[in-house]
Amino acid sequence: MGADHETAAAVDVREVVKSFGDKPVLRGITWDIPPASICGLLGPNGAGKTTLFRLLMGILKPEAGSIHIAGLDAFDDRVPLKRLIGFVPDEPVFYNYLKGREVIELSAAMHDLDLDEMWRRIDPLVERLEMAAHLDAYAEEYSRGMKKKLGLILALLHQPSILILDEPTNGLDVTATRSFFELMREQAAAGHAVIFSTHLMDQVERLCEHVAIIHGGKIVLAGRLREILGGRTLEDVFCESTAS
Ligand SMILES: Nc1ncnc2c1ncn2[C@@H]1O[C@H](COP(=O)(O)OP(=O)(O)OP(=O)(O)O)[C@@H](O)[C@H]1O
């Protein structure tokens, strides 16, 4: 797989190209994401982070190149991959006629989970995210942060080995952000890969072992955060990498 680390990559992206109409967005993305680690994806507005995540999720198909996740093709094998991946989109959207509890149960049914077992497992997470009091309200009426929390619960419902999170802490309050950090560290400690996009440098510095910066349709910098920083701040590294 050509990874720059000892273990096989959880996600292996090779020379991926994607355009919208005649507008090229990704011009040859190559990126290895190791298992059992937290990787932050940074990039200026419009750099293509969400587009790349949609490609990883098999929502979009690359025009050229390949994406393999746990050895499966991200587009052709997108249905079996749903069992391995938990995804939180930038702006989670829910059916307007379902309460939070029903959204969770629908998602559990789609993953073929036993409801009693699922609730026993998920209740502590619901408590940690302070969502227990809101599960009988309609999810579409939730605040932005509450929608993110429900999205995170859904992403973790089926115990995926890879988490893909698009700006996961957008809208989260201080306590919820702290809970999110703890949860992500637990996921990585359990051997799972966590990939998340953000504009918040301090979150990457506090949470991530690996980082990647996307700019001009390419990954311009990727690797272990400590080695990349070399004593500089991530903000400095980011500004240098995205200057041209
Ligand atoms: N469905 C679409 N149709 C046309 N253009 C699109 C579509 N989706 C994204 N784009 C364009 O692709 C480019 C990358 O967008 P994307 O949302 O992937 O960037 P991003 O890095 O996630 O940005 P941000 O940090 O602002 O969230 C932008 O120029 C955007 O306008």
pLDDT, residue 3, reads: 39
Q: Residue 165 has what pLDDT? A: 96
Are the CB atoms for 163 and 70 separated by under 8 Å?
A: no
Q: Determine if ligand 1 sits within 6 Å of the CB of residue 25.
A: yes
pLDDT tens per residue, range 7-62? 567 899 999 999 999 999 999 999 999 889 999 999 999 999 999 999 999 999 99
pTM for the structure as a whole: 0.93
Residue 24, Ramachandran bin (φ over 0: left; ψ between -120 and 50: alpha; else beta): beta
What was the pLDDT predicted at 9? 74
Q: Which of 171, 105, 175 is nearest to 135 (CA)?
A: 105
Cα 199 to averaged position of ligand 1 atoms, centre (Å): 15
Question: Can you tell me the distance from the alpha carbon of 11 to that of 87, in angstroms, rounded to the nearest whole number?
Answer: 14
Q: How many angstroms separate the CA atoms of 187 and 125, rounded?
A: 13
Angle, in degrees to the nearest 10, between helices 115-128 and 144-156: 140
Span from the CA of 113 to the centroid of ligand 1 (angstroms):
34
The pLDDT of residue 2: 38
- CA separation (Å) from 117 to 43, 107, 120, 230, 234? 40, 14, 5, 46, 42
Q: What is the pLDDT of residue 115?
A: 97
Q: Which residues of the chain have pLDDT under 70?
A: 1-8
Residue 47 · residue 96 · CB < 8 Å: no
Mutation choice for ligand 1 from 27, 41, 45, 50, CB with most ligand atoms inside 8 A: 50
Distances 123 to 74, 86, 139 between C-alpha atoms, Å? 31, 18, 17
User: How would you list the strands of the sheet with 85-88, edge to edge?
Assistant: 85-88, 162-166, 193-197, 38-42, 210-215, 218-224
